[in-house]
Amino acid sequence: MLIHSNLFSQPINEFAAKSYLRTGNSDGYISPFIDVVGSSMNSSGFSYLYDSIQKFHIYVGLNVTSAFIPGSMQSFDGVTEEPFSPEITVANAPTVFGSNSALTAVDQTGNAYVFPGGFGINRVNLLFPSLQIGNFFNTNLSFRFLALDFGGDLKSIKLFGGGIQHFISPYWGAKDYFVGVGASYNQIKIGEYLTGNSILAQVNAGQQKGIFNYYGFAALQKNKYEFFYADAENGDGSVVYEGDQPIRFGLGGGIQLWKFYLHAEGSGFKPVVASVGFGLRFK
């Protein structure tokens, strides 16, 4: 997996934990991260390798995803809290992807409320291996696993996922198109600082034309992430958050060239995620 190195180069420090993870501003700051990483892991989870004559196949490949972070996910309307008085709303406070510069508000008595800066990121890239086994009983099974050990503060990134894709169009004798339903589960662990779980359910439809195939899909996702923080004063702890973008739509296609299968996919709407895959398909 490849992800912007600045984003996880250090744990959630004590200042950020107190400023956001346990305040009313936490959702605005953290939720873009959950939606971007969760949507990226849920992208290109299925290769839609449909085979009407039910030939067994194994596909082994690599997928690369790139999530483009819009300006609306780089800032939010923050709210000051006690002892700041009176409470005010501050526009354009940085999210985790926002400006590196902190934003400070000062009240009439001189109290300052600081909105910490983000990491200044407008794109997040992921790379992961994938394995698919099918097509038996109109069903494909997909798997992905990756474990990287970096040492230092980051320590490790671990990713595990699995999915099932079942084609339902053969039940009514469809010949010129396919319709399928599927579900997947992905988990990501980043050192001692984060554990994230993503669940996806979707329906898709497309056509297989010789060596080409194309498809569209609609999906419902739920991303739930637990962040662990350090606090020397009150003790270490964790906070659980969920993403704000549950619905996704996408289009994609692929081509089979001898034993090689290449595919590309785009999905949205927030964030927009592009993915490409390349691998070997054995029948």
pLDDT tens for 73-122 read: 999 988 887 777 788 888 888 988 888 888 888 878 777 888 888 888 88
| 192-230: pLDDT as tens digits | 778 999 999 999 999 888 888 899 999 999 999 888 877
Q: What is the mean pLDDT of residues 169-174?
A: 91
pLDDT > 60? residue 281: yes
The DSSP element (H or E) to which 260 belongs, if any, is: strand 260-268
pTM of the model: 0.82
3 state DSSP class of 282:
strand
Q: Are 45 and 142 in contact (CB under 8 A)?
A: yes
Structure tokens, 57: 């196949």
73: nearest Cα among 94, 102, 91, 101 = 94
| 24-58: pLDDT as tens digits | 787 888 888 888 888 888 887 665 666 655 678 88
3 state DSSP class of 134:
strand
- What value does the mean pLDDT of the chain take? 82
The pLDDT score that the predictor gives to residue 3 is 43
Q: Identify residue 135 by its one-letter amino acid code.
A: N
DSSP lists the bridge partners of residue 129 as 62
The pLDDT score that the predictor gives to residue 48 is 61
267: nearest Cα among 70, 126, 67 = 67
